[in-house]
Amino acid sequence: MVFLAGLQSIPKDLIEAATIDRAGPIRRFVSVTLPLLTPTVFFLLVTNILFSMTNAFDILRTMTPTGHGTNTIIFEIYLQSFGAYQRAGYSAAIAVVLFFTLFFITAVQLRFVERKVHYS
């Protein structure tokens, strides 16, 4: 649905101009459609990464309640704070490091996307 909304927001004038300039369908997609969809792709990338982290938490909590086996950072924060360890300060420190890591990755991606997309 989000991709459909992004595709519908692309101005038809740009696609028609590319058609008049004799650009084929692949060239129109690569040169016009894909660059204008990069903010949508970026939004979906970030939200899907965050969703997969929380979705994996439910599966890991059900399959390995003690934490022995596969872990993600989110599940490790939970285990350190509410599991057998009861170390809330340590889990808070992990959460802060995770926040700054995700903030840095998002800032780098925003900087990259900002340079690639030009609206007129």
- What is the reported pTM? 0.60
Q: What is the mean pLDDT of residues 35-45?
A: 84
Distance CA 60, CA 115 (A): 38
- Percent share of the chain, pLDDT over 70: 92
Question: What CATH code is carried by the domain that includes residue 101?
Answer: 1.10.3720.10
pLDDT band at 120 (very low <50, low <70, confident <90, very high): low
pLDDT band at 60 (very low <50, low <70, confident <90, very high): confident
Range of the domain at 73: 2-116
Is pLDDT of 50 > 60? yes
Q: Count of domains in the chain?
A: 1
